[in-house]
A and B are shown apart, each in its own frame.
Chain A
Amino acid sequence: MGYRPPESKKAILLDALKGRRAVYASAIVIIFINNLLDFVGPQVVRFTVDCVIGGEPIPARLAPYINLIGGIDTLRGRVWLCGAVVALAAALCTAAGCLRNWWTLEPSEYMAKNLRDRLFGHIQRLPFDWHVRIQTGDIIQRCTNDVDMVRNTAANVLPNFARGVFIIISAAALMFSMDPVMAAAGLCLMPLFSITGVVYHRVIGKTFLAVDESEGMLQSAAQENLTGVRVVRAFGRERFEIERFGRRNDDLFDKLIKMGVNLSAFWAFSDLIALAQTVVVVTAGALRCLNGQLTVGTFMVFFSYTMMLLWPARETGRQLSELAKCSISLGRLLDILSQQPEQDAENPLTPSMDAGIAFENVTFSYDGVTPALKNVSFTLERGQTLGVLGGTGSGKSTIAYLLTRLYDLSDPNEEPSGGPVLNTGRITIGGVDIRRIPRGHVRRGVAMVLQEPFLYSKTIGENIRGASNPGADLSARMERAASVAAIHDTVAALDDGYDTRVGERGVTLSGGQKQRVAIARMLLQNAPVMIFDDSLSAVDTQTDARIRDALAEHTAGTTVILISHRVGTLMRADKILVLNGGEVEAEGSHAELISGGMNTYRRVYDLQRAAVEEGGGSQ
């Protein structure tokens, strides 16, 4: 059971092509047929020139057919018949070409769609931890550019490469069967193209890299200048910035010019080989004709075939380098798809989440070295409010992450893999170990707002309603939730109210406003357990207080966990947990904690109260 990652790069391609594999394979066969038909035209020209116009004897293979239509004299009177054969071959070629294109282009689009869907779905199911560790920009790059690279390879590079290889092999065979000496003359310089291919890949690839790098530098210079525009202006650093940008701009230019010099040399050299090849064919052909070893028509055929060969041969080097790039892209996609997604236990339980919560001796470490929580135990009755106080790095968010199964404790049934065991203990809801409960069920029951919540680029209303069950009174409930989160008035004041779009093309909300929309979204979910993980950090204290008052009313009967470093936020909780360096330093109600001698809670309380008393003293 469980997720089986793709075994190889090839498997990724084959999986994504499932349903179109036969079509794509047929396209390769069609390419071969198409390419054989390509040879017909010049052969007809040869026959016309040699046998119809000139007086050469008719080849034995063709003689029965020619006699069937009345011999060569019939053709001399009706040269259009030769033209008709050329046209017929062209028509067949065209039909094959259409099929070949359609059978490669459509499956490539199909494959790209499947690949994108698979990546997207897979990424949604990858563990929270993976999302924390990754560079978002890099992953997005892979899912867009690398997929496009693979699509382009399937649609263009691979068919063209196959066509090139077919043409070279079959033309070479055909040429040797017609006249070995001329074949040698027509093919002798082709191997040089493989050298240019290697040079292209090595040398020019390197200059391309240098350009990319320099472009990246320029891009970040611009980006930083634009996002920091107020700082630039306030310090009057416009000139400094222009000079800095100018230096990077010049650097990019230099790198581009270097690449340009290489590119022009590369193309000129490729042209030189190609054109020199035609000189060789023309010279050899003319000499052999003069010696009577070659007919005029055959000479013309060789000239045509050499021309047909030159372009694909010239491109193979570049195509090989493209194929190598595609392989790198596939490797990057394989990286993502090999990651294990979240998996649920085999015999899951789905108990009611409206129940008491218990942490039993929980020790947890993110990196397996430093514990974030050490031996933490507490219980929380259904409907109670728990406050968690602690500074940065005290492990207070870890409690929220574990309770929503964004991170898991190790399975007690699994053998520990040596070394100190850092993920131990048990978390239960209603007495059931949460590892037995499917993640979806846990998260629907335990709602939480992240410190930096994300709003989708939909309307504000859609954002708030998104995760909730539809119902007749949904919009009334939404407005109520928004009022509690102190965002209703702000939204209502917008021109389109709840239909206002969020994001780049819509309204930009401040950090505090985003948090409040996210709180409204959570409230509407109506979960029996709610976690506020520093959810009001970007909201000023006044609004914070207002929201907390409204929340206290709204969440009556709900189990609530409040995480904060503001004493004011927590002091009304039924129970407060004071965390320090991952350990529970104290536990109790506000009254118990401040009367319990000097502890962190008391110290923070005094610090924060000192400011107030100093302010209130004048009254």
Chain B
Amino acid sequence: MNENEYPSNFSFAVWKKILPFARPMGGRLVLVVLLLTVNALIDIAYPLMLRHILNNHVVTGDAAGLRAVIALYAALVVIQVFTVYMFIRLALFCEFTIARELRGAVFKRLQILPISYYSQTPVGYIMARCLSDTANIGDRIVWGIVDMSWGAAYMVFAIVTMFALNWTLALIMVAFMAVLSCVTYWFQKRILKMNREVRKRNSIMTGAMNEGITAARTTKTLVMENQSLEEFKGVTGAMKLVSSRIALLRSIYGPTVFFAGGLAVAAVLTAGGMLTLQGALALGTLAAFISYSFEISHQISHLAHVLPEFVASQANVERVTAMLERQPEIIETPEALERYGGNFDPKTENWEPLLGDVEFSDVTFMYPDGTVNVLEHFNLSVPRGSMVAIVGETGAGKSTLVNLVCRFFEPTGGRVLIDGRDIRDRTQLWLHSHLGYVLQDPHLFSGSVTENIRYGRLEATDEEVRAAARAVGADAFIEKLGGGWDADVGEGGGRLSTGQKQLVSLARAILADPRIFILDEATSSVDTEAERLIQRAVAVALKGRTSFVIAHRLSTIRAADMILVVDQGRIIERGSHETLMAGRGHYHDLYVRQFAAAE
């Protein structure tokens, strides 16, 4: 998961995977290459035009036909400008299209990757794959083709032309090109290597800056301002060291290429000058050679810069294709897909209603990244309309059952049955369409309150949305918001308080009118008054539905038909409140400790 990994060698196999995204652009890209070839040819032609003017008109003093030559020159200019306009436009179109298609594909894949993927991968990492890597790939593929095809075309044409004009001078130029390529290779290899180091240091530095600002309030209370500045100076110092080293290399590299160009001109001037004096070379030809030698040294250093960048972008391709090839862990059976349709083409006409009987039959389960079974031969029958409370300490593993009922994970052994049929007989979409889910830290999407509630049932009318809000008692605060029902909740719901977000997410769940309700109760992060409001809303939401509640509130626990006590990932006790209290076990302990303070 290192952002700075770089491939060392070009691998065709890696690039081949991205081909399907580039192929639709194939015709346009061929056209781009053709335009560039014409463009390069015209660039070759200019010195020849100059040569012609010098040799046939200026030196001889013959004005006849000069007008036609100038007109041709101007025509070439117009054609070249046209190719420039067309190839940039086409290339950008290809670049943006490839990036768009890749982004869409990555996002689509993300929607079917398992939940476990999200708990193991930082959001920032996924975002970088989805947005910047895809843009980078589009950019590198297209502009790599542009730079390389133009450079190659120019060099080939230039060499052919030079040999046609004068092979002695051409040989000098080829020798010079060889030397310059070696020098460039030497420098670029080192610059590239150091660049990796600079990027690594830079991302460390950005991270430290980020942390320094986010942590500033805590740093203040700990009186660690100076200490944290000293640590930061260490980071920027290391960054300065490597970036100065690369600056030194760059300082020498650019002028060295220039020097090589100067030497080429000197060599051509000497050899060409002697030939001209002997009458073996026309003056215009000498001028053309001088032009070529300048442009070729420029092209070599440009290609030296482009090629490694192209190879380096292989890392982006590898990361994106790895994501696209990643398989979801939960796969629908062919029969279920056939009957109920996939996530993106549901056959709702075949869907049975969900009644709400849930049964765990001999379930054994281990998390994909775990080493022990957290459930072993677990059996539990939850008849429709009943409520299961799951209690235990923080981090005890209370989410496991919920993860299985939601089919975020599948049991490693045994079966989960919904209405008497294996959960795998039907599709996730069928299940999720009948499920209500409220998180302890409720997640809202930016947009209006109404839009957020409507997320529960997309086709609900405004009136239905309001009714759902009224049912959980959220209407009172919503109507007081500036903007009322259309009030923007901000990114992640940031403009609402935690209690308000919980009410909205309850209304959202109710609107879906689910048969199975999952509630991850909040610990006391809101004050007592707000808590009462939420408690009442929860009671409304759960009524008449099968529910699984990760519970912290005594009132919820007491209302449950079945209480499961979880400790260190395992279910150690189960039963009603009364039987568990009478058993004087772990639950009794918990209960006494939790409320002893108020005795």
A and B interact physically: yes
Q: Find out whether the CB atom of A222 lies under 8 angstroms from the CB atom of B127.
A: yes
Q: How far apart are the CA atoms of A257 and B393 in the complex, in Å?
A: 55
Q: Find out whether the CB atom of B258 lies under 8 angstroms from the CB atom of A286.
A: no
Interface string of B46-76 (1 = CB under 8 A from A): 1001100110011101010010001001100
Q: Find out whether the CB atom of A109 lies under 8 angstroms from the CB atom of B243.
A: yes
The verdict on A443 contacting B81 (CB below 8 Å), with A136-B214, A222-B131, A296-B58 known, is: no
Any A CB within 8 A of the CB of B394: yes
Q: Which B residues are in CB contact (< 8 Å) with A41?
A: 262, 265
Quote the shortest CB–CB distance from A443 to chain B (angstroms): 5
* Chain B, 428-483, CB within 8 A of any chain A CB: 428-429, 431-433, 435-437, 439, 443, 445-446, 455-456, 458
Contact of A224 among B81, B277, B492 (CB under 8 A): B492
Interface string of A68-109 (1 = CB under 8 A from B): 000000001001101110110111011111110110011011
Q: Find out whether the CB atom of A267 lies under 8 angstroms from the CB atom of B88.
A: yes
Quote the shortest CB–CB distance from A146 to chain B (angstroms): 12
Q: How far apart are the CA atoms of A279 and B79 in the complex, in Å?
A: 14
Q: Find out whether the CB atom of A227 lies under 8 angstroms from the CB atom of B277.
A: no
Any B CB within 8 A of the CB of A192: no
Q: How far apart are the CA atoms of A546 and B393 in the complex, in Å?
A: 11
Q: Which A residues are in CB contact (< 8 Å) with B373?
A: none
Q: Find out whether the CB atom of A227 lies under 8 angstroms from the CB atom of B443.
A: yes
Contact of A105 among B81, B210, B250, B599 (CB under 8 A): B250
Any A CB within 8 A of the CB of B31: no
Any B CB within 8 A of the CB of A56: no
Interface string of B209-239 (1 = CB under 8 A from A): 1111111111111111101110011001101
Q: Find out whether the CB atom of B344 lies under 8 angstroms from the CB atom of A238.
A: yes
Q: Find out whether the CB atom of B259 lies under 8 angstroms from the CB atom of A454.
A: no
Contact of B598 among A80, A229, A447, A609 (CB under 8 A): A609
Quote the shortest CB–CB distance from A598 to chain B (angstroms): 16
Q: Find out whether the CB atom of A264 lies under 8 angstroms from the CB atom of B593.
A: no
The verdict on A93 contacting B262 (CB below 8 Å), with A120-B212, A237-B455 known, is: yes
Q: How far apart are the CA atoms of A472 and B110 in the complex, in Å?
A: 50
Q: Find out whether the CB atom of A545 lies under 8 angstroms from the CB atom of B596.
A: yes
Q: How far apart are the CA atoms of A235 and B523 in the complex, in Å?
A: 24
Any A CB within 8 A of the CB of B324: no
Q: Find out whether the CB atom of B107 lies under 8 angstroms from the CB atom of A267.
A: no
Q: Find out whether the CB atom of A224 lies under 8 angstroms from the CB atom of B445.
A: yes
Q: Which A residues are in CB contact (< 8 Å) with B258?
A: 90, 93-94, 97
Quote the shortest CB–CB distance from A577 to chain B (angstroms): 16
Q: Which A residues are in CB contact (< 8 Å) with B428?
A: 233, 236
Contact of B252 among A98, A566, A612 (CB under 8 A): A98
Interface string of B226-268 (1 = CB under 8 A from A): 0111001100110110011001101110111011011101110
Interface centre among A54, A90, A143, A265 (most CB of B within 10 A): A90
* Chain A, 50-70, CB within 8 A of any chain B CB: 52-54
Q: Find out whether the CB atom of B218 lies under 8 angstroms from the CB atom of A453.
A: yes
Q: Find out whether the CB atom of A537 lies under 8 angstroms from the CB atom of B523.
A: yes
The verdict on A454 contacting B217 (CB below 8 Å), with A279-B73, A290-B66, A303-B50 known, is: yes
Q: Which A residues are in CB contact (< 8 Å) with B593?
A: 542, 545-546
Q: How far apart are the CA atoms of A454 and B210 in the complex, in Å?
A: 12
Any A CB within 8 A of the CB of B112: yes
Q: Which B residues are in CB contact (< 8 Å) with A101?
A: 247, 250-252, 254-255
Any A CB within 8 A of the CB of B17: no
The verdict on A131 contacting B228 (CB below 8 Å), with A86-B269, A220-B446 known, is: no
Q: Find out whether the CB atom of B255 lies under 8 angstroms from the CB atom of A231.
A: no
Interface string of B522-555 (1 = CB under 8 A from A): 0111111110100000000000000000001111
Quote the shortest CB–CB distance from B377 to chain A (angstroms): 26
Quote the shortest CB–CB distance from B376 to chain A (angstroms): 21
Contact of B130 among A222, A228, A234 (CB under 8 A): A222
Q: Which A residues are in CB contact (< 8 Å) with B130?
A: 222
Q: Find out whether the CB atom of B283 lies under 8 angstroms from the CB atom of A450.
A: no
Using C-beta atoms within 8 Å of the partner chain, give the interface range for chain A.
Answer: 35 or more
Q: How far apart are the CA atoms of A242 and B214 in the complex, in Å?
A: 32
Interface string of A208-249 (1 = CB under 8 A from B): 000000010011101111111111111111111110011001
Q: How far apart are the CA atoms of A237 and B115 in the complex, in Å?
A: 14
Q: Find out whether the CB atom of A124 lies under 8 angstroms from the CB atom of B229.
A: yes
Q: Find out whether the CB atom of A144 lies under 8 angstroms from the CB atom of B93.
A: no
Q: Find out whether the CB atom of A450 lies under 8 angstroms from the CB atom of B221.
A: yes
Quote the shortest CB–CB distance from A266 to chain B (angstroms): 9
Any A CB within 8 A of the CB of B89: yes
Q: Which A residues are in CB contact (< 8 Å) with B492?
A: 224, 227
* Chain B, 61-118, CB within 8 A of any chain A CB: 61, 63, 66, 70, 73-74, 77, 80-82, 84-86, 88-89, 92-93, 96-97, 100, 103-104, 107-108, 110-112, 115, 118
Stretch of A7-15, A270-278, A416-424, A425-433 at the chain-chain interface: A270-278
Quote the shortest CB–CB distance from B381 to chain A (angstroms): 23
Residue of B nearest to A604 (CB): B528
Q: Find out whether the CB atom of B111 lies under 8 angstroms from the CB atom of A232.
A: yes
Any A CB within 8 A of the CB of B270: yes
Residue of B nearest to A125 (CB): B225
Interface of chain A, main secondary structure:
helix
Q: Which B residues are in CB contact (< 8 Å) with A263?
A: 88, 92
Q: How far apart are the CA atoms of A156 and B532 in the complex, in Å?
A: 62
Q: Which B residues are in CB contact (< 8 Å) with A90?
A: 258-259, 261-263, 265-266
Q: Find out whether the CB atom of B89 lies under 8 angstroms from the CB atom of A540.
A: no
Contact of A456 among B81, B215, B431, B578 (CB under 8 A): B215
Q: Find out whether the CB atom of B597 lies under 8 angstroms from the CB atom of A545.
A: yes
Any A CB within 8 A of the CB of B206: yes
Contact of A120 among B131, B229, B581 (CB under 8 A): B229
Q: Find out whether the CB atom of A264 lies under 8 angstroms from the CB atom of B223.
A: no
Quote the shortest CB–CB distance from B228 to chain A (angstroms): 6
Any B CB within 8 A of the CB of A614: yes
Quote the shortest CB–CB distance from B51 to chain A (angstroms): 11
Q: Find out whether the CB atom of B259 lies under 8 angstroms from the CB atom of A91.
A: yes
Interface string of B333-354 (1 = CB under 8 A from A): 0000000000110000000000
Contact of B89 among A76, A126, A237, A260 (CB under 8 A): A260
Q: How far apart are the CA atoms of A44 and B290 in the complex, in Å?
A: 13
Q: Which B residues are in CB contact (< 8 Å) with A595?
A: none
Q: Find out whether the CB atom of B218 lies under 8 angstroms from the CB atom of A454.
A: yes
Any A CB within 8 A of the CB of B370: no
Q: Find out whether the CB atom of A253 lies under 8 angstroms from the CB atom of B96.
A: yes
Q: How far apart are the CA atoms of A87 and B268 in the complex, in Å?
A: 11
The verdict on A249 contacting B221 (CB below 8 Å), with A93-B255, A101-B254, A300-B287 known, is: no
Quote the shortest CB–CB distance from B250 to chain A (angstroms): 6
Any A CB within 8 A of the CB of B590: yes
Interface string of B417-437 (1 = CB under 8 A from A): 000000000001101110111
* Chain A, 396-410, CB within 8 A of any chain B CB: 404, 406
Any B CB within 8 A of the CB of A565: yes
Q: Find out whether the CB atom of A543 lies under 8 angstroms from the CB atom of B217.
A: no
Any B CB within 8 A of the CB of A412: no
Quote the shortest CB–CB distance from A284 to chain B (angstroms): 10
Q: Which A residues are in CB contact (< 8 Å) with B236?
A: 113, 116-117
The verdict on A290 contacting B81 (CB below 8 Å), with A90-B263, A233-B432, A538-B523 known, is: no
Q: Find out whether the CB atom of A123 lies under 8 angstroms from the CB atom of B50.
A: no
Any A CB within 8 A of the CB of B368: no
The verdict on A261 contacting B239 (CB below 8 Å), with A53-B273, A542-B590, A545-B597 known, is: no
Q: Find out whether the CB atom of A391 lies under 8 angstroms from the CB atom of B217.
A: no
Q: Which B residues are in CB contact (< 8 Å) with A98?
A: 251-252, 255
22 A-B pairs with CB atoms under 8 Å apart are A41-B265, A82-B269, A101-B250, A109-B247, A116-B236, A121-B229, A124-B220, A140-B209, A228-B445, A229-B115, A235-B433, A236-B343, A242-B104, A257-B96, A268-B81, A391-B528, A490-B395, A512-B394, A512-B523, A518-B218, A566-B524, A615-B577
Per CB-CB distance, the 10 closest pairs between chain A and chain B, nearest first, are A90-B262, A97-B255, A568-B597, A83-B270, A234-B437, A236-B432, A260-B92, A101-B251, A268-B85, A105-B247
Q: A87-B266, A108-B247, A286-B70 are in contact. List 5 more A-B contacts (CB 8 A).
A: A94-B256, A97-B254, A235-B435, A237-B458, A566-B524
